[in-house]
Structure 1
Amino acid sequence: MPRKAERIIIGETSITYLIDGVGLFNPEATMPAVDWAANHDCLEESQLVLPFGSFLVRAGDQKILVDLALGGMDMKVPGVAHMKGGELLQSLAAEGLSPDDIDTVVYTHLHVDHIGWTTDVAPVPNAPEPKAPSGLTFARARHVMTEAEWRYWTGEAAGELGGPDTEATIKPLQDVIEFVQDGDTLAPGVTIEVTAGHTPGHLAVVVHDPSGDHSESVFIAGDLFHSPVEIADTVCTFASDVDPERVRAVRDGVLQRPDTVIAAGHFTHGAFGRATPVGDTYTWTPIGHAPTAG
């Protein structure tokens, strides 16, 4: 698992992956359609290891955090996962930044491992002695997501396991949340792309060089990808996908894009890489490694 910040630079814009923690998942429960015997190289000691973190985008004078990781919790879901976080603010401090330096927080979606630092209270499900948050962690920042995502988790999916806690997340955000749409610009070269499927309002963040000097872009994928197995086997799905067919269609479109670096925060051996066509499938190549020969 990456323990140090990873960074790539496009023109004058940098994208840095900041680690918060890690989860150990039962692969059969998490991605049941995968032939894990044929994909054992994606496992560590028979476990699917998924890091948690945030992407820090520095574009012009803007500092943007994409997702807020797991937060200060140590949670076990019997038969499914053991998740532990809490390092994000230290990772941010290692970049010379404090929470007050962040201008915008972007939520790709509101699953618990992407919202943990919304307030100073991690959204621990069914906590025996729940604490009331004292305020937003990134109090000076805009907090943005799609309207469809907000409506889903405050409507039909309110209170579902794996989603946002009402006290720790929803109530603190309800008076400050801003909604963004497909194509909206957050900073020079930083745009929103709606990628619904994993959740009804899931989004991605696409980073280009606003000067046009560099053709390559970075696609911050949220939960379109959890493991390289989803790149090699494009028909597999994740257990928490709300609309698996739509996820697969969106994922396939991303894999076919030229000049694209995928930023996948749950990947164990490098958060940044490229999908290289190999026959009728793809292989994942972390940045700094040569493509696998087909």
Structure 2
Amino acid sequence: MTRAAERSQTTVGGTTVTYLPDGEGWMDASVIFPASAPDGWAPYAAFVDAAGRMPVSIGSFLIRTGGRVILVDLGLGVVDYEVPGVASFTAGRLVDSLAGEGLAPGDVDTVVFTHLHHDHVGWTSDVAPDPGFPEGAAVGGLVFPNARHLVAEAEWRYWADKGVFPGPDRRAVLEPLAGRIGFVGDGDEIAPGVRVLATPGHTPGHISLVVADPEGADPRRLIVLGDVMHCQVQVTESRWSFVWDFDPDQALRTREQVLEELQDPDTVLAGGHFADHVFGRVLPPAARRLWADGRLLG
């Protein structure tokens, strides 16, 4: 049985990419992947428990390159709640995970949001935006006060007049970011060797990041997926759309395009929601595509 992932790290040239755990979710697998019902999980029994729930890792990717300190997504924050019939969530470790790398929130110079769902924005402000966030609760400043906060413009515009679950809470996320948020688009360079890849579908402005060696000595690259995929099973079952995909057809097209790129042997995948191992490779299909976790990276 798989579990939520713990800290792990890989390198691309002189750039390090570290997965920092914040918490975990337990989701009803047949609810979050409707196409998997009623018995599509039978070949993937290791990914679900006896109740049919699957573990989901929740955290952030720390990218350190050329003196830069970048966080990709901000987890859930300090929360413990349930979405009845769908999932439960517990989290709150991200700042401690960052401290384990010798860093404080003030050391982070850039925050990149792949998208603005609740489980990617939890440490935006000092209040974690769970569904029970009480009316009238006070919200202070940004957790990462010195950082540029970046997102695709289409993502920001879509949620700006909503601010409801599963998107970003207005008071805990959108209002603290107002006036501080910056926009990035496909191909933009965030830092040396770190570029934006537009991957819409899960949300209107979803992005991923491609990390390469800025010196060009290491031929490998790493793709931080965001929510292009939520589970390793989607490497094989790519037509299984996630229940909260904004545009399932576009999400499928994006997933297939990314999976084609991931079959390059020099490309490493970083799946932030993947259980057990967030880093790995996609093996080209013999009969079908397969996932190889980080223990096999070599």
Question: Under TM normalisation by the shorter chain, which class is it?
Answer: over 0.9
Range that drifts further, 65-74 or 34-43 = 34-43
Q: Secondary structure at the match of 1:179?
A: strand
* 1:264-294 Cα shifts (integer Å, max 9, x gaps): 0111110100010233521111122279xxx
The answer as to 2:151 corresponding to 1:149 is: no
Which amino acid is the alignment partner of residue 25 of structure 2? G
Deviation at 1:43, TM superposition (A): 1.4
State how far apart, in whole Å, the 2-side matches of 1:146 and 1:28 are: 31
- Compute the displacement of 1:37 (Å): 2.2
Specify whether residues 3 and 48 from structure 1 end up closer, same or farther in structure 2 by C-alpha distance, changes over 3 A only. closer
CA distance in 2 between counterparts of 1:290 and 1:199 reads: 30
Distance of 1:82 and 1:30 partners within structure 2:
12
Q: Is the 8 A contact 1:233 1:281 kept in 2?
A: no
Deviation at 1:18, TM superposition (A): 0.1
Question: What is residue 231 of structure 2 aligned with on the other side?
Answer: 227
Secondary structure of 1:207's aligned partner: strand
Q: Tell me what 1:15 maps to.
A: 17
Alpha-carbon separation, structure 1, partners of 2:222 and 2:238: 20
5+ residue gaps in structure 2?
none
Deviation at 1:211, TM superposition (A): 1.0
Corresponding residue of 2:107: 101
Say which of 82, 85, 88 aligns to 2:91.
Answer: 85
**Partner residue, 2:43:** 38
Within the candidate set 21, 26, 32, 1:24 is matched to 26
Instruction: After TM superposition, give the deviation of residue 119 of structure 1 in Å.
Output: 0.5
Q: How does 1:155-234 map to 2 (within 5 A)?
A: 155=161, 158-234=162-238
User: Which residue number corresponds to residue 52 of structure 1?
Assistant: 58
Looking at structure 2, the residues matched to 4 and 36 of structure 1 have their Cα atoms a distance apart, in angstroms, of: 24
Counterpart residue identity of residue 235, structure 2: I
Matches of 1:138 and 1:115 in 2, distance apart? 12
Letter in 1 for 2:268: V
- What residue is the counterpart of 1:288 in the other structure? 295
Equivalent residues, number: 289
Match of 1:132 among 138, 142, 158: 138
Asked if 1:261 is matched to 2:268, the reply is yes
TM-score between the two structures when normalised by the length of structure 2: 0.94
Identity of aligned residues (%): 44
The residue type equivalent to 1:278 in the other structure is: P
- The answer to whether 1:114 aligns with 2:116 is no
Task: Indicate conservation of the 8 Å contact 1:109/1:202, yes or no.
Answer: yes
- SS of aligned partner of 1:256: helix
CA drift at 1:39 = 2.4
Cα-Cα RMSD? 1.4
Question: Judging changes above 3 Å, is the alpha-carbon distance between structure 1 residues 5 and 227 closer, same or farther for their aligned structure 2 residues?
Answer: same
CA distance in 2, matches of 1:217, 1:27: 31
TM-score under structure 1 normalisation?
A: 0.95
CA deviations 1:107-165 (Å, max 9, x no partner) are 0000000000001100022434552221000000000000000000013xx03321100
Shift of 1:252: 1.2
Could you tell me whether the CA contact under 8 Å between 1:22 and 1:51 is conserved in 2? yes
1:240 is aligned to 244
Counterparts of 2:220 and 2:66 in 1: how far apart (Å)? 18
Aligned residue identity for 1:51: S
How far 1:2 sits from its partner (Å)? 5.0
